[in-house]
């Protein structure tokens, strides 16, 4: 089959690779109909999350069940499903509590309690390096999906792939960010990052009762997208008066909730890059720091942007002084996928309005390049193997 294979930093090509096979009784093989590129894939592409051998990338995908293992009861051949991006058994200590990203079974080689830089990680993820289980991903014609009784969700006819494919990751991720922020009626929510995840968090904030949603991003075309599809207020992150503007919109206090939908690859000045090198940090924690500034005292900072290293000079003092609450982590897709699906099915939210590029799988390499460099006003790329057939 054809698949987007990561070789080394900045080098992804669509190659012929071996077809996936059923390896465990609870596996299914999915024929991929739609897959997407995520900001999280860029962390591998850019070398912020290391991967030393070739791997098929892609954790956002959906398709048709082609083959089922003997222990699979939840889906059958021919079903159309979306698949949560974290791989989870559904039965362990963490899965039982809804923390599927910390599944104790899906990442046997590198799982552990400590959360170190290169070991003791959480559960597995599709196409997300050996540290997270070494599973091949879904930017491919076919993909093996383990624990098929726990993850895949059947999608009824009448909804297009484009309408539902973001249930695999970014909509439940935006939803998790908002739930972790305990957003309630009347809240002002400031969301750093207006990429795909930030845009989904904006939608989720409105659906959970926010009164004001403020988008922050350095890229004007992404702020324009946010204004157009989500009717939010928007401020450029490079604006010197950013914090004053946020406070002037919130009675001088700051936002009730601040969401980090950027992560460690935030824009950096030359001097910030020098500091990164001196401190041996991966990227920067500046957006979390901006969140702690923008949020009000006793407010909540909710972090779905990904971080991969320790950071020096982190403003613990401010977190203490303001009495902040913070929550971080991989999204609880397994927990929220049904609720998120219902929002789409009932028409309360539209997700496909963020798609700017629909390309054949064979153009994955060009698509990565465009998404990374933010050219052609790219916001979200979906790839379709069928456009090659």
Ligand X SMILES: NC(=O)c1ccc[n+]([C@@H]2O[C@H](COP(=O)([O-])OP(=O)(O)OC[C@H]3O[C@@H](n4cnc5c(N)ncnc54)[C@H](O)[C@@H]3O)[C@@H](O)[C@H]2O)c1
Residue ranges that bind ligand X, judged by CB under 6 A: 38-40, 42-43, 169-170, 173, 192-198, 216-219, 222, 237, 261-263, 266-267, 287, 304-306, 330-331
Distance CA 3, CA 233 (A): 39
DSSP 124: E
Helix (H, G, I), strand (E, B) or coil at 380: coil
How many other C-beta atoms are found inside a 10 Å radius of the C-beta of residue 302? 27
103 binds, among Zn ion, ligand X, none (CB under 5 to 8 A by kind): Zn ion
Tell me the closest approach of the beta carbon of residue 128 to ligand X, in angstroms. Answer: 10
Is the backbone of residue 143 left (phi > 0), alpha (psi -120 to 50) or beta? beta
What is the Cα–Cα distance from 222 to 228, expressed in whole angstroms?
A: 10
Structure tokens at 97: 């509590």
The one of ligand X, Zn ion, none whose footprint includes residue 121, by CB under 5 to 8 A per kind, is none
Contact 40, 128 (CB under 8 A): yes
65 binds, among Zn ion, ligand X, none (CB under 5 to 8 A by kind): none
Q: Is 165 in a helix, a strand, or coil?
A: helix
Nearer to ligand X, 27 or 60 (CB): 60
Q: Between residue 32 and residue 71, which ones bind Zn ion under the rule CB under 5 A? A: 38, 40
- Of the pair 35, 208, the CB lying nearest Zn ion is at 35
By C-beta, is 95 or 326 nearer to Zn ion?
Answer: 95
Phi-psi region of 374 (alpha: psi -120 to 50; beta: other; left: phi over 0): left
From the list ligand X, Zn ion, none, partner contacted by residue 266 (C-beta under 5 to 8 A by kind): ligand X
The item of Zn ion, ligand X, none sharing an interface with residue 237, based on CB under 5 to 8 Å by kind, is ligand X
| Integer Cα distance of 309 and 110 in angstroms | 16
Task: For the CB of residue 53, give the shortest distance to ligand X in the complex, in Å.
Answer: 21
User: Under 8 Å CB-to-CB from 265, ≥6 apart: which residues?
Assistant: 39, 42, 43, 46, 48, 283
240: number of Cβ within 10 Å = 8
In the bound state with ligand X, the residue whose beta carbon lies nearer, of 145 and 304, is: 304
Is 199 an interacting residue with respect to Zn ion (CB under 5 A)? no
What's the closest the beta carbon of residue 170 comes to ligand X, in angstroms? 6
CB 84 within 8 A of CB 172: yes
How many other CB atoms sit within 10 Å of the CB of residue 328? 14
Residue 200 near Zn ion by CB under 5 A: no
Is the CB of 173 or the CB of 230 nearer to ligand X?
Answer: 173
**Residue 169 vs 289, nearer CB to Zn ion:** 169
**For residues 302 and 310, what is the distance between their CA atoms, to the nearest angstrom?**
18
Nearer to ligand X, 72 or 287 (CB): 287
Judged by CB, which is closer to ligand X: 69, or 263?
263
Return the one option of Zn ion, ligand X, none that residue 92 interacts with (CB less than 5 to 8 A, by type): Zn ion
Residues 6+ away with beta carbon under 8 Å from 156: none
Q: What is the 3-state secondary structure (H, E, C) of 104-122?
A: CCCCCCCECCCCCCCCCEC
Q: Is 92 in the site for Zn ion (CB under 5 A)?
A: yes
Nearest distance from C-beta of residue 262 to ligand X, angstroms? 4
Kindly state the smallest distance separating residue 60's Cβ from Zn ion, in Å. 5
Among ligand X, Zn ion, none, residue 216 binds (CB under 5-8 Å by kind): ligand X
Would you call 160 helix, strand, or coil by DSSP? coil
Interface pattern 143-172 for Zn ion (x via CB under 5 A):
--------------------------x---
Q: Where are the alpha helices (DSSP H) in the chain?
A: 39-45, 93-96, 161-164, 170-180, 196-207, 220-230, 242-248, 270-279, 286-294, 316-322, 333-345, 364-373
What is the nearest approach in angstroms of ligand X to the Cβ of residue 268?
8
Min dist. Cβ of residue 213 to ligand X (A): 14
Decide which of ligand X, Zn ion, none touches 34; Cβ closer than 5 to 8 Å per partner kind.
Answer: none
Options 86-94, 221-229, 261-269, 316-324: segment touching Zn ion (CB under 5 A): 86-94
Contact set for Zn ion, span 93-112 (CB under 5 A):
95, 103, 105
Query: Phi and psi for 58 in degrees, rounded to 5?
Result: 110, 115
Q: Which residue ranges make up the site for Zn ion (CB under 5 A)?
A: 38, 40, 88-89, 92, 95, 103, 105, 169
């Amino acid at each position: 089959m054809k698949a987007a294979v990561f070789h080394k930093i900045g080098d992804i090509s669509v190659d012929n690779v071996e077809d996936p096979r059923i390896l465990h009784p609870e596996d299914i093989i999915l024929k991929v109909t739609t897959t997407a590129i995520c900001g999280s894939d860029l962390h591998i592409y850019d070398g912020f999350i290391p991967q030393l051998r070739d791997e098929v990338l892609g954790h956002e995908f959906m398709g048709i069940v082609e083959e089922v293992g003997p222990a699979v009861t939840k889906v059958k051949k021919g079903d159309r499903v979306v698949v949560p991006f974290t791989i989870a058994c559904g039965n362990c200590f963490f899965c039982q509590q809804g923390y599927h990203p910390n599944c104790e079974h899906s990442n046997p080689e590198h799982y552990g309690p400590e959360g170190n830089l290169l070991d003791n990680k959480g559960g597995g993820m599709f196409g997300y390096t050996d540290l997270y289980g070494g599973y091949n991903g879904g930017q491919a014609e076919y993909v093996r999906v383990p624990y098929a009784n726990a993850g895949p969700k059947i999608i009824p006819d009448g909804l297009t792939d484009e309408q539902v494919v973001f249930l695999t990751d970014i909509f439940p991720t935006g939803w998790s960010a908002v739930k972790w922020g305990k957003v309630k009626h009347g809240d002002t929510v400031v969301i750093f990052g207006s990429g795909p995840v930030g845009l989904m968090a904006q939608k989720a904030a409105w659906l959970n009762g926010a009164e004001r949603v403020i988008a922050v991003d350095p890229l004007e075309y992404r702020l324009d997208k946010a204004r157009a599809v989500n009717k939010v207020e928007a401020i450029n992150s490079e604006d010197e008066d950013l914090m004053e503007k946020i406070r002037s919109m919130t009675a001088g206090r700051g936002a009730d909730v601040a969401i980090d939908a950027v992560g460690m690859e935030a824009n950096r000045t030359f001097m910030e890059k020098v500091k990164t090198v001196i401190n041996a940090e991966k990227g920067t924690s500046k957006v979390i720091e901006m969140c702690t500034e923008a949020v009000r005292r006793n407010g909540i900072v909710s972090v779905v942007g990904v971080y991969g290293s320790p950071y020096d000079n982190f403003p613990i003092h401010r977190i203490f002084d303001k009495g902040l609450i913070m929550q971080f982590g991989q999204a609880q897709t397994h927990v929220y996928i049904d609720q998120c699906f219902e929002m789409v099915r009932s028409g309360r939210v539209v997700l496909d309005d963020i798609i700017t590029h629909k390309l054949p799988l064979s153009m994955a390499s060009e698509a990565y390049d465009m998404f990374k460099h933010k050219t052609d006003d790219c916001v979200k790329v979906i790839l379709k193997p069928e456009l090659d057939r």
